[in-house]
Structure 1
Amino acid sequence: MPRMTFPDAQSYWISRRIPTDQFLLYCFDAAEPLDRLAASLLVRARQIPDLCLQIREVPFRLDVPWWTPMEPDPSLVVVHDGPRSWEQCRGDVAGLLTDSLDPTESPWRLHLFGPVSEAPEGRGDAVVAVLQVAHALGDGRRTAEIARLLFTDTPLPPSPTVGRWRPALATAVALGEIPVNLARLVLRMRPAYLAHRQRNLDTESGVIPEKPSSRSTLVTNGTPDWRREIRTVVVPSADLRGPGVTVTVGVLTAVSVALSRYAAEAVAEHGAAAEVTVARSGRSAARNHFCNVTVDLHPEIADLRQRALTIAASLRAQRLRADHPSRAVEERATAAVPAPLLRRGIDQFDFTAVPDEVTGNTVVSSVDRGPADLALGGGAVRFTAGFPALSAFMGLTHGVHGIGDRVTISVATSPAVVPDTDRYEEFLRDAVRQVSAANSSSGSP
């Protein structure tokens, strides 16, 4: 039975306080009835190791939780039967975003909607599958890999054996680990201090860029209520790329344009920045191996081609800072802190507090979900989407998810923050057209 790593345990503990579940949406051509699809997907899920796990708490919470075996049951595949339009389906999916999973029962759930008419990127009815996953089970890359296993017919290797849950054994391991971890912490404190000092020296000397300063809040940093709204903009990936401009940078440029129109006066006065989720370099035993970096959106640069290149440089610089060796050394020291103390720190943190200044005015999370060779009951995949969670001071987020040659820019918000989501969606669509035109004028293919 594997113990959770600290990053995954931290994700689990935070999810007990605020909604952090991931929602991976896949739209397929309709080919079979939903009940038949549900039955086949449940059989498939029982062959995927990551979907046969649940979280167990160590008695008295003496340690990080453990992953233990689970047999997926039919309740984990929820069928939302009956015809609906894409707009109605979109509203139904938005209603799921605040319904958090309890990973001690199951860290995932699958929702099936169909038949869905007027869905993008195809003709005829569609089936929409939404894989809801607790963040502790994996980050964006890992959950995309899980979904790829679920929506293909590729033979799976035998699942590794996970021993049954033995709370007495877990308690004994925890009690034995506490003095060992304290000794590790003493040994790791000085290297962590030296690594932190080296990062400061490297910052002062210009080896790595400075940490971005906090900035003023915009309307998008408002506190959401219980309501959610989502939108999806599906475009060819080529429309977002250009020389020196990746899909992620193209979307960041489009978001900068849309924000500048939606909050024109505030952006003109204070500028705008995005928190961008990026994969960490190197290998890790943790299921969550990512970090957030702050990227200036440079709305003051009128030329969109130049703005995109400047955003790309900002993103590269912050990736460089995030990959500084000091981070790994500091994390090793943190991992040696006894789990009850780490958990208490998260339990004491006020997730409802709204700061005067923020690190970003929106979130952009980008994941390539691979080639468009997925299928559901014989129906080909049309597009995929995802909706990063909102927080007390982040009321507008963007997902960027590609499959094949199509990219979906997803918008998640609350009417309490963005009262007219359709208006913002139109600003975003127009911004994508402007970015595409700027890329074309630069001689991109």
Structure 2
Amino acid sequence: MDGQPEIVTKLSLWLQQAGDIAMGWLLSPAAWSQFALLVGAFIAARMITRRLQPALAPYLTPPEGKAGLTVTARLYLRRGLPLLLPLLAYAFTAMGEEVTRSLFGSGAVIAFGKRIFLFLAARIFVNEVLTDPFLRLLGRYVLIPIAAIYALGILTEITTRLEETIISLGNIRFSVMALIRGLIAGSLLFWLGSWSNRQSADYIKKQEELRPATRELAVKAAEVMIFGAAFLLLMSIMGIDLTAVAVLGGALGVGIGLGLQQIAANFVSGIILLVEGQTTVGDYVELDGGEKGTIIKMTARACVLETFDGRWIVVPNEHFITTRVVNYSDQGSANRYEAAFSVSYDTDINTIPDIIEEAVGRLPFVLKSPDGPDCELRGFGESSVDFAVEYWVNGIDDGKNRFGSPVLFAIWNALKEHDIEMPFPQRVVHLKQDPAPPAKPRRSKAEA
């Protein structure tokens, strides 16, 4: 074995030790009794599982159409029924281990069997119980290999070797085991944080008694607290001194002061918007820059507006603080619009307001409160008398709800019904010609 790599030498020693252990088990009566106990424990667990699974399944199946935390817990328990077999076998083996050790003074086979049952439970848990793709990936490449190494009885030796392997990055020194532990713990913590954030956001958004702005603020606050706690816990697990985090926070503050002013301004502006609640999700707004639409999302950096034609406009939060914003939805859902029209000078204009107000008032979307349709005389044009009718509707005339076109149709039909002319510009053109110049007298030949 001279000249062989160290890992090959150690693998050969492990295989030799495994062979010696297996040969000792085959020749030992105590080992045979432990094998018999393992087989008996497995058979007993299988028989009990066959009876328990059909009996427990109806109790763990929630009624259709139900939702809630209890329903979710029952579904997870029902999905975990396949774990009954290896866990029962592990429990029965653990009870028999004490008897075997008291009789024979040895329990190596029993301990190996217990680890095998745990390995089987880990495989079933990953393949049949877990449904989240990330958790299943983590279980397949982390949990199952660790369970296999543990079943072989070499987990302690491997972890010790990884603890002794040190990585140096400048003044920072950490072991490979600490790095692996940090990666696994970080993955689990931030997945748990993401799941908790989704659950808390769904719960907060269902609280209809809270204002929309208050709900959004609560969602953002919960998100910051959850991921902040996950980050600090990860630092503690990896053994990193939190004073280094304070130094990092100071450096980050300097960076914000020097080069990230706009990001910081937008973040603070977003918090102000959520606290004040003057603009929130669902409001129809118009900015000084001409952007207008319905706010469909508010993030820490910007608000997303959806226009009537389906386009999304991302507006930085700072614009809502430093510029003039018209919020059509702030005082309620009723809004006033007007439609202009003209009639001929031959019309009895005193009858126009009653005719138009009645025609527009019959439209189903026109409100009677806070005020009904109001037709007003606006002026005397060059070729027509100009009117406008004002009306209130419940909503925004943003393209999805076109109120102006039906109102104009109603005005047209009402005027035609009463034979009232809607004139168009006319011009009278007079053509003038210059008079013919006087004829010159003709001279005689003698004069010529």
Q: How does the TM-score come out when normalised to structure 1?
A: 0.18
Which of the pair has the greater relative contact order for Cα pairs under 8 Å at 6+ separation? 1
Q: How does the TM-score come out when normalised to structure 2?
A: 0.18
More strand as a share of residues? 1
More helix as a share of residues? 2
Larger Rg: 2
